[in-house]
C-alpha cells in the first residue's frame, strides 16, 4: 500500500510526506540533508519497502514539496515538524534515520520529544554534535566556509547546486565514478526548495549545539560516516557523536563521501537492515 499526503503543523506549515508499506509493519522514518528532500533516501526506501517494512520520508519545511514559510528554519522547528508527522501517522517503535542535517533533526527530535515512540536511530554523515569551529570545538569547520556557502546561495544557487555534487558525492576523487544523472538529481531537488529556507538552514546545520540531545538518545544508535566526507568531517562529528551517545556504535566506511547513501547504497542498505533486525 502506498500513501502520500501532507501534515499541517501548529504554525500552519504543510509538511509533505510519502508513506509506503503495510501500516502494521515497523516504521522506518527518514530525515534528509540540505538542500535536498525526502527523495534523497529513495534507494533505502525501495530496499526496505521490498523487505516488508513501512518506510516514511518527509520534505523539511522550505524544501521539496512542503510549504515555504518565511519563518521556522531552525532545528527546533524541524524537530517539531517531524514530531507532527510521527503523531499524525501514530508511529510507534519507529527507527529514525537521519542524513547530514537530518541527523541533527533526529537528535533534536529525540531531545525535545523523547524516546517513547522510538526504538532505534541511525545517524549517517550527520552534523552532530556541531560542525562550526568554536572555543569548545576547536577542530570544527571555520565559519568562513559556511559564509561562503551562504554567499553562493545568495549569488547564484543554481550554479552552486551544479558545483556542489563534486565534493558531496566525491566525484572529485578518482575512485568514485562521476554520475551526471545523480548530479542532476541533486540540482533538481535543491531547486525545488525555497532560497530563504536553504539560506537560513545553513546556520541551523552548522551552528546548532546538539551535545545534550545526543546524551538523551538512550536508544541503540548507529553512527555511519565515510572517512572521505568532504562536507561533514568525520573527526569532528561522527567520532565525537558516537562518544556522546549512551548506546552508540560507530561504523566508518572507507573511501565513502558525504553522499554515501547514493554512492555506497548497497553497503548502507545492508548496514541498515542488519541494525534493524539486530
What would the mean pLDDT of 41-45 be, rounded to a whole number?
A: 98
- The answer to whether 63 and 161 are in contact (CB under 8 A) is no
**What average pLDDT does the structure give for the chain?**
97
Phi first, then psi: give them for residue 163, nearest 5 degrees.
Answer: -85, -30
Q: What share of the chain is helix, strand, coil (3-state, %, to 5)?
A: 45, 20, 35
pLDDT at 1: 39
What would the mean pLDDT of 27-40 be, rounded to a whole number?
A: 98
Give the number of other Cβ atoms within 10 Å of residue 6's Cβ: 16
Burial of 219 (0-12, 13-18, 19+ CB in 10 A): middle
pLDDT digits (tens, 9 = 90+) for 208-262: 999 999 999 999 999 999 999 999 999 999 999 999 999 999 999 999 999 999 9
- The answer to whether 88 and 195 are in contact (CB under 8 A) is no
Report whether pLDDT(2) > 70: no
Options 32, 58, 225, 258, the catalytic residue: 258
pLDDT digits (tens, 9 = 90+) for 95-131: 999 999 999 999 999 999 999 999 999 999 999 999 9
Q: Give the angle 25-29-32 at the CA atoms, nearest 5°.
A: 155
What would the mean pLDDT of 255-278 be, rounded to a whole number?
A: 98
Active site residue 80: no
Options 31, 100, 194, 206, the catalytic residue: 100
What would the mean pLDDT of 49-68 be, rounded to a whole number?
A: 98
pLDDT at 4: 65
Report whether pLDDT(23) > 50: yes
- The answer to whether 15 and 66 are in contact (CB under 8 A) is yes
pLDDT digits (tens, 9 = 90+) for 189-209: 999 999 999 999 999 999 999
Say whether domain 2-277 belongs to CATH 3.40.50.1820. Answer: yes
- Per-domain residue ranges for the chain? 2-277
Say what percent of the chain tops pLDDT 70.
99
pLDDT at 175: 86
Q: Can you tell me whether residue 183 is helix, strand or coil?
A: helix
Active site residue 258: yes
pLDDT digits (tens, 9 = 90+) for 150-171: 999 999 999 999 999 999 999 9
Active site residue 229: yes
Options 59, 81, 213, 229, the catalytic residue: 229
Amino acid at each position: 500500500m502506498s500513501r502520500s499526503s501532507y501534515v499541517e503543523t501548529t504554525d500552519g506549515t504543510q509538511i509533505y510526506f510519502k508513506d509506503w508499506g503495510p501500516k502494521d509493519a515497523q516504521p522506518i522514518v527518514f530525515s534528509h540533508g540540505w538542500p535536498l528532500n525526502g527523495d534523497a533516501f529513495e534507494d533505502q526506501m525501495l530496499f526496505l519497502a521490498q523487505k516488508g517494512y513501512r518506510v516514511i520520508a518527509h520534505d523539511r519545511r522550505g524544501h521539496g514539496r512542503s510549504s515555504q514559510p518565511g519563518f521556522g528554519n531552525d532545528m527546533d522547528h524541524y524537530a517539531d515538524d517531524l514530531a507532527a508527522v510521527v503523531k499524525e501517522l501514530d508511529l510507534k517503535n519507529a527507527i529514525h534515520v537521519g542524513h547530514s542535517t537530518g541527523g541533527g533533526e533526529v537528535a533534536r527530535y529525540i531531545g525535545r520529544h523523547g524516546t517513547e515512540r522510538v526504538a532505534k536511530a541511525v545517524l549517517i554523515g550527520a552534523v552532530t554534535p556541531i560542525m562550526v569551529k568554536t572555543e569548545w570545538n576547536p577542530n570544527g569547520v571555520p565559519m568562513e566556509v559556511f559564509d561562503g556557502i551562504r554567499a553562493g546561495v545568495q549569488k547564484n544557487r543554481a550554479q552552486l547546486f551544479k558545483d556542489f555534487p563534486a565534493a558531496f558525492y566525491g566525484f572529485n576523487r578518482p575512485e568514485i565514478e562521476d554520475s551526471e544523472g545523480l548530479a542532476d538529481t541533486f540540482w533538481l531537488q535543491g531547486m525545488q526548495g525555497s532560497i530563504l529556507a536553504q539560506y537560513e538552514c545553513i546556520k541551523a546545520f552548522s551552528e546548532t549545539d546538539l551535545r545534550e540531545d545526543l546524551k538523551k538518545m538512550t536508544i541503540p544508535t548507529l553512527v555511519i560516516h565515510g572517512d572521505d566526507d568532504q562536507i561533514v568531517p568525520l573527526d569532528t562529528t561522527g567520532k565525537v557523536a558516537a562518544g556522546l551517545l549512551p548506546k552508540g556504535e560507530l561504523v566508518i566506511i572507507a573511501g565513502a563521501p558525504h553522499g554515501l547513501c547514493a554512492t555506497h547504497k548497497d553497503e548502507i542498505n545492508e548496514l541498515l537492515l542488519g541494525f534493524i533486525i539486530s
